[in-house]
């Protein structure tokens, strides 16, 4: 019997889980303070071939042979919940969620097949103020977990609009958008050379791959792409940025041409220094999953990867042979194990092996390691137990 979990999944041990719970707690608190209400979804979903992640979902069969799939995307799940439960509910809705997702990807250091996300959706609004609220929260999310944020904003509709203006045949657009998204200049030029394009549109399509950088990029874009249709997209992005007093943590990339199919409006990603993968992704999906909605999600495994190697906090682990003292310490918020060993020698040996910090007995508290002896916890525990004695007298 092989007890190792399937490839791309993992057991979560206490030290990792403590860090993950800490992240979830901090972010949940942040979103709650902004009025986002927590919701949860079933892990089992009806299999639906039109689901954006359908191809990469794990499939299961129900007893009646109905095809089910494991949850693979929170945005789609939220949209479906809103349609079922909030159809006649006053909008806007601010919802937050966290939990696990499953996708049949090839696992590597950036991707696992089972992964955790936390995120928010802002439903029933579509304007620059709503967009800016999400960008702001994206930025604050990274800061909340100790990372320096850079949030990159774009809109795949910008490239799509250039395609419209240039009359690019629809069957060529996916590959062309893909070349732009990879900033593959050679491939892009080769493909564009197949068409007869007006020089200004040819230039705009080639140069769009270099339209990235700080927010002044929008001014350059505005000069190079003077068409009313592209101007409208630039203006909306400018309106989002205008909501910020300080836009130094914001970046632009108008060559962001391929995102999740459901995004119809602006999209964004967050990066942090010294980490090669985006930590957060989001955008506006008006008209696809819901009439008006936008949101984002963060990958918890990515956050943990980006946080510089945090040492696990020193744990005040206690084992006790005195039930009264143990009960007293538990009331004061300590986690106290009850000793089940009958002889003290075995008890001490096992406790030290397991890295337990303190032993509490009839005679008081005793530190079991050098770190524990030097920690402030020892003093605090001694004081607490003394106080208990005084109160009893």
Task: Rule CB under 8 A: choose which of 41, 58, 212, 227 binds another protein.
Answer: 212
Nearer to another protein, 95 or 280 (CB): 280
CB of 114 to another protein, least distance (A): 19
Of 229, 213, 251, give the one whose Cα is nearest residue 159: 229
Considering the rule CB under 8 A, would residue 285 count as an interface residue with another protein?
A: no
Residue 251, classified by CB atoms within 10 Å of its CB into exposed (0-12), middle (13-18) or buried (19+), is: buried
CA distance 94 to 83: 14
Using an 8 Å Cβ cutoff, are 258 and 209 in contact? no
CA distance 257 to 238: 18
Considering the rule CB under 8 A, would residue 248 count as an interface residue with another protein?
A: no
Site string for another protein, 175-194 (x = CB under 8 A): -------xxxxxx-------
Within 10 angstroms of residue 355's Cβ, the number of other Cβ atoms is 12
Considering the rule CB under 8 A, would residue 276 count as an interface residue with another protein?
A: yes
Task: Rule CB under 8 A: choose which of 213, 226, 291, 355 binds another protein.
Answer: 213
Considering the rule CB under 8 A, would residue 216 count as an interface residue with another protein?
A: no
Which residues, including other chains, have CB under 8 Å from residue 248's CB and lie 6 or more apart? Answer: 214
Considering the rule CB under 8 A, would residue 150 count as an interface residue with another protein?
A: yes
Please choose, out of 59-67, 127-135, 145-153, 319-327, the segment that lies near another protein by the rule CB under 8 A.
Answer: 145-153
Considering the rule CB under 8 A, would residue 273 count as an interface residue with another protein?
A: yes
Considering the rule CB under 8 A, would residue 108 count as an interface residue with another protein?
A: yes
Considering the rule CB under 8 A, would residue 246 count as an interface residue with another protein?
A: no
Considering the rule CB under 8 A, would residue 148 count as an interface residue with another protein?
A: yes
CA distance 376 to 204: 64
Using an 8 Å Cβ cutoff, are 271 and 57 in contact? no
Task: Rule CB under 8 A: choose which of 73, 253, 301, 322 binds another protein.
Answer: 253
Considering the rule CB under 8 A, would residue 80 count as an interface residue with another protein?
A: no
Residue 29, classified by CB atoms within 10 Å of its CB into exposed (0-12), middle (13-18) or buried (19+), is: exposed
Nearer to another protein, 207 or 231 (CB): 207
Within 10 angstroms of residue 279's Cβ, the number of other Cβ atoms is 23
CB of 284 to another protein, least distance (A): 21
The number of C-alpha atoms within 13 Å of 151 and in the hemisphere containing its C-beta is 31
Q: Which residues bind another protein (CB under 8 A)?
A: 108-110, 148, 150, 152, 182-187, 209-210, 212-214, 251, 253, 271, 273-278
């Amino acid at each position: 019997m092989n007890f190792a979990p399937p490839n791309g999944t993992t057991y979560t041990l206490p030290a990792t889980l403590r860090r993950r719970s800490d992240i979830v707690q901090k972010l949940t608190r942040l979103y709650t303070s902004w009025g986002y209400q927590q919701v949860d979804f079933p892990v089992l979903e009806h299999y639906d071939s039109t689901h954006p992640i359908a191809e990469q979902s794990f499939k299961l069969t129900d007893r009646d042979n109905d095809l089910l799939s494991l949850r693979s995307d929170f945005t789609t799940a939220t949209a479906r919940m809103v349609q079922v439960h909030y159809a006649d509910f006053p909008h806007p809705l601010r919802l937050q969620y966290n939990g696990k997702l499953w996708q049949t990807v090839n696992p590597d250091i950036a991707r696992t097949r089972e992964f955790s996300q936390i995120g928010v959706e802002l439903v029933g609004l579509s304007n620059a103020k709503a967009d800016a609220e999400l960008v702001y929260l994206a930025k604050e999310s990274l800061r909340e977990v100790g990372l320096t944020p850079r949030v990159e904003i774009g809109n795949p509709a910008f490239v799509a609009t250039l395609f419209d203006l240039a009359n690019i045949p629809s069957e060529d657009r996916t590959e062309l958008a893909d070349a732009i998204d990879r900033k593959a200049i050679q491939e892009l030029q080769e493909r564009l050379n197949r068409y007869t394009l007006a020089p200004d549109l040819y230039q705009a399509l080639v140069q769009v791959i270099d339209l990235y950088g700080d927010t002044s990029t929008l001014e350059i874009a505005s000069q190079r792409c003077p068409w009313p249709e592209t101007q409208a997209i630039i203006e909306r992005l400018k309106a989002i940025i205008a909501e910020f007093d300080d836009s130094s943590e914001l970046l632009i990339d108008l060559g962001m041409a391929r995102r999740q199919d459901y995004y119809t409006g602006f999209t964004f990603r967050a990066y942090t220094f010294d980490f090669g993968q985006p930590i957060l992704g989001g955008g506006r999906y008006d008209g696809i999953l819901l009439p008006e909605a936008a949101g984002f999600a963060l990958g918890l495994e990515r956050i943990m990867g980006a946080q510089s190697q945090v040492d696990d906090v020193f744990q005040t682990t206690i084992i006790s042979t005195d039930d009264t003292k143990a009960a007293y310490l538990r009331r004061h918020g300590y986690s106290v194990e009850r000793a089940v060993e009958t002889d003290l020698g075995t008890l001490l040996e096992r406790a030290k092996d397991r890295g337990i910090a303190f032993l509490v007995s009839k005679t008081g508290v005793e530190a079991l390691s050098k770190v524990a002896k030097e920690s402030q916890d020892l003093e605090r525990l001694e004081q607490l137990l003394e106080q208990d004695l005084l109160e009893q007298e």
